[in-house]
A and B are shown apart, each in its own frame.
Chain A
């Protein structure tokens, strides 16, 4: 079974702190994703990575950065946390896209349990 783990389930930080959220997957997946989940808004993509050291902005990258130094690990960084970044953060991973691999279904995303971040 694919397993995606996130370093913390709950985190409380102060405004202005630098925050690191870690995500690890154990299935040698190419793609990794960071989303934030807010009531009534669903999941919104912050950043994704399709290879080691490669990243692309998602729909709401402002105030965030990411790091992927190893294939299995994808970190989300809040350089200076603000109260409007209080949210649930979900990490996901998937094998390469069907367009690249020719294997339909290889891009199903597997999610971690989430980190509920509160910034006070």
Chain B
């Protein structure tokens, strides 16, 4: 099974500033990669996914992520955050041999301040 590390548990950021959330996974075998967001008192919602092709993936709400195979990373970025981006963000990985199962990171809580 994959091991997923989210390097920051808490990220405070000011409104309109950029944010980067870091995610590394354990295996270099072919993988599918996801970022999910969880707003307070809600379930998880898919932000974006990497399946194949271009390593730069664009998602909803202005987020993007870059897949780096050599570094086994899938970092999430947004150039300018809003108060409404305050949420917990989860990186998830599945490998192509077992592709219906996801391994999740511990989560990164983003708090956006005015």
Contacts and interface: CB of A to CB of B under 8 A. Distances in A.
A binds B: yes
Interface of A: 4, 31, 35, 40-45, 48, 50, 58-59, 90, 92, 94, 96-99, 104-105, 107-114
B51 A105 contact: yes
B107 A99 contact: no
* Of listed A41, A58, A92, A97, residue having the most chain B CB within 10 A: A97
Interface in B14-39: 32, 34, 36
Contacts, number: 64
B80 interface: no
Interface string B74-114: 00000000000000001000101101111011110000000
6 contacts: A31-B100, A42-B104, A43-B90, A90-B43, A94-B100, A114-B43
A43 B99 contact: no
A42 B105 contact: yes
A43 B104 contact: yes
Contacts of B34: 108
